[in-house]
């Protein structure tokens, strides 16, 4: 068996697509009902969790203004994802909810306290995706003139995670007695300061609330560079991973296993979830037809601009890709943002033109998963057999609507279940236990 997660790639925000079945999404994206329904649909489909992206900025690198961003609803507007967590939890019973927190946005004490609060409010279904933020524009909203260099951001994130973890552990098991007769609510000898004084943070502790049902909420991680992998190997229970072939996926997972062992953890302690955008259809022919339409659209002006926008963003807001000649050679730039994402466009494509890259390269691919639910389910099973396990993080970046969710929860999941590949229900246990169950 393997795990399923769903990547809500535009967070609690407007979804950029304007497809045939998107209805009033551009007007209603902030309404609660669609997120509650999303949680319920995914839970019925056996998804272990929904993974909510977040970024706090309005991008204006591409074209030197926010015009394109706001015309197309690209990563903005967006609400804070944290209040969404208890809402989605109240409408569901078992699904884990991972919200994103950037280490430059939340002080460690605020983060530890918020996550523990969410763990209580969700009865042990809270998780946090720890990110370092990608662009200068985010950093500039939180007291920085520019974002820190890539590797330093991860050094800061390492200290942040260390402090947050120690705050979560600042109440020993058994500290809460809750005896109204004595009276003794908590034994103060089991509640400890952490007295942290490091390069980036100074925090006394202890946390001023009792541990949540999970003690430490589930920790996720999204960066795939070496420092990103190291952060995950030290702290994470799950991470999203990008791989375009079985070989890359296997190598990624084996690399993570080595890193986990080096940090005194077991390979099974971290679930590596491969981000994938399958193409489903009523039949294999229908799915192939949809895929042919997607491929034909990569030459549309809108698609080309969208990828140039994306490159400008993932460069960390350091390069405006609208300024390059499309038929000149691909610029050799990794920038200061998502280095592993930039590599997918740049490395190995040095001889191609920018146009060939933006029309030919996909940051997140379909791994050949194109077909009817039955076909895709069989192929997912074969892929996971070869990779060795863990699971997939499914993503439909420009088509997130109730119809798409039904295709996955009511189409693909039953096909996976018929093959015994995914869970057929949930035990009444906290999120981490579901994640570590197989
Ligand atoms: C698929 C994916 C999702 C991500 N989600 C977020 C996010 O929600 N918020 C954020 O600030 N950064 C996000 N990031 C950025 C990473 O967390 C990380 O900070 C960045 O990719 C740099 O990491 P890397 O150089 O290790 O790849 C995401 C990256 C990827 C590839």
**Could you read off the pLDDT of 139-176 as tens digits, one per residue?**
999 999 999 999 999 999 999 999 999 999 999 999 99
Tell whether 197 is covered by a domain: no
Q: Which atom of ligand 1 is nearest to the CA of 275?
A: 1
The C-alpha R_g of the chain, in whole angstroms, comes to: 22
Does residue 123 sit in the same domain as residue 227?
Answer: yes
Does residue 428 sit in the same domain as residue 291?
Answer: no
**Can you give the CATH number for the domain in which 92 is found?**
3.20.20.30
Look up tokens 């926010």; give the residue.
66
Q: What gap in Å lies between CA 400 and CA 396, rounded to an integer? A: 6
Q: What is the ipTM of this complex?
A: 0.97
Q: Whose CA is nearest to atom 20 of ligand 1?
A: 338
Does residue 220 sit in the same domain as residue 251?
Answer: yes
Q: Is 222 touching ligand 1 by the criterion CB < 6 Å? A: yes
Who contacts 33 (Cβ-Cβ below 8 Å, separation ≥6)?
Answer: none
Residue 131 · residue 101 · CB < 8 Å? yes
Does residue 298 sit in the same domain as residue 150?
Answer: no
Q: Is 275 touching ligand 1 by the criterion CB < 6 Å? A: yes
Q: How many domains does one find in the chain?
A: 2
Q: Whose CA is nearest to atom 12 of ligand 1?
A: 133
Counting as low any pLDDT under 50, the low residues of the chain are none
Q: Is 224 touching ligand 1 by the criterion CB < 6 Å? A: yes
Burial (Cβ within 10 Å: 0-12, 13-18, ≥19) of residue 27: exposed
Ligand 1 centre distance from Cα of residue 314 (Å): 9
Does residue 102 sit in the same domain as residue 59?
Answer: yes
The residue among 360, 385, 409 that closes a domain is: 360
Does residue 139 sit in the same domain as residue 238?
Answer: yes
Tell whether 202 is covered by a domain: no
Does residue 21 sit in the same domain as residue 148?
Answer: yes
Does residue 140 sit in the same domain as residue 11?
Answer: yes
Residue 359 · residue 298 · CB < 8 Å? yes
- CA–CA distance from 297 to each of 283, 303, 359 (Å)? 21, 7, 9
Q: Is 102 touching ligand 1 by the criterion CB < 6 Å? A: yes
Does residue 294 sit in the same domain as residue 249?
Answer: no
The residue among 309, 326, 360 that closes a domain is: 360
Tell whether 192 is covered by a domain: no
Burial (Cβ within 10 Å: 0-12, 13-18, ≥19) of residue 393: buried
* Residues paired with 78 in a beta bridge: 13
Both tokens of 199, joined, read: 């390069």
Tell whether 298 is covered by a domain: yes
Tell whether 184 is covered by a domain: no
Instruction: Report pLDDT for 21.
Output: 84
Q: Which of 79, 105, 131, 147 to mutate to test the pocket of ligand 1 (most atoms within 8 A of CB)?
A: 131
Tell whether 304 is covered by a domain: yes
Tell whether 236 is covered by a domain: yes
Residue 61 · residue 308 · CB < 8 Å? no
The residue among 360, 382, 405 that closes a domain is: 360
Q: Is 223 touching ligand 1 by the criterion CB < 6 Å? A: yes
Instruction: Report pLDDT for 338.
Output: 87
Look up tokens 């080309």; give the residue.
304
Tell whether 188 is covered by a domain: no
1-38, pLDDT tens digit by residue? 999 999 999 999 998 877 888 888 899 999 999 999 99
What is the extent of the structural domain holding 310? 284-360
């Amino acid at each position: 068996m393997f795990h399923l997660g769903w990547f809500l790639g535009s967070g609690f925000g407007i979804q950029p697509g304007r497809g045939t079945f998107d209805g009033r999404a551009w007007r209603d994206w902030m309404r609660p009902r669609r997120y509650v329904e999303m949680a319920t649909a995914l839970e019925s489909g056996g998804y272990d969790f929904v993974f909510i992206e977040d970024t706090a900025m309005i991008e204006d690198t591409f074209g030197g203004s926010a015009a394109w961003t706001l015309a197309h609803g690209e990563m903005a507007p967006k609400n804070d994802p944290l209040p969404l967590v208890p809402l989605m939890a109240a409408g569901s019973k078992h699904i884990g909810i991972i919200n994103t927190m950037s280490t430059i946005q939340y002080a460690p004490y605020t983060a530890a306290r918020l996550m523990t609060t969410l763990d209580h409010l969700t009865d042990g279904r809270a998780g946090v995706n720890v990110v370092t933020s990608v662009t200068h524009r985010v950093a500039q909203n939180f007291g920085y003139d520019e974002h820190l260099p890539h590797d330093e951001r991860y050094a800061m994130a390492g200290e942040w995670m260390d402090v947050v973890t120690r705050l979560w552990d600042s109440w020993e098991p058994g500290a809460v007695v809750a005896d109204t007769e004595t009276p003794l609510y908590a034994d103060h000898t089991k509640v400890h300061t952490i007295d942290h004084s490091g390069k980036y943070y100074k925090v006394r502790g202890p946390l001023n609330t009792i541990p949540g049902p999970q003690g430490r909420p589930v920790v996720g991680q999204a960066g795939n560079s070496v420092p990103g992998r190291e952060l995950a190997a030290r702290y994470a229970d799950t991470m999203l991973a990008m791989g375009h072939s079985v070989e890359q996926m296997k190598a990624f997972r084996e690399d993570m296993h080595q890193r986990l062992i080096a940090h005194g953890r077991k390979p099974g302690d971290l679930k590596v979830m491969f981000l994938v955008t399958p193409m489903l259809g009523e039949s294999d022919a229908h799915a192939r037809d949809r895929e042919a339409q997607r491929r034909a659209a990569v030459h549309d002006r809108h698609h080309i601009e969208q990828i140039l926008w994306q490159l400008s963003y993932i460069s960390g807001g350091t390069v405006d890709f609208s300024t390059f000649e499309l038929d000149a050679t691909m610029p050799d730039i990794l920038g200061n943002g998502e280095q592993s994402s930039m590599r997918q466009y740049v490395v190995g494509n040095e001889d191609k033109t920018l146009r060939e890259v933006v029309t030919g390269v996909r940051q997140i691919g379909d791994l050949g998963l194109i077909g009817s639910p039955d076909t895709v389910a069989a192929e997912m099973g074969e892929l996971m057999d070869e990779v060795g396990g863990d699971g997939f993080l499914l993503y439909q970046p420009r088509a997130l609507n109730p119809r798409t969710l039904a295709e996955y929860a009511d189409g693909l999941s039953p096909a996976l279940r018929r093959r015994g590949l995914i869970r057929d229900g949930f035990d009444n246990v906290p999120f981490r236990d579901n994640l570590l169950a197989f």
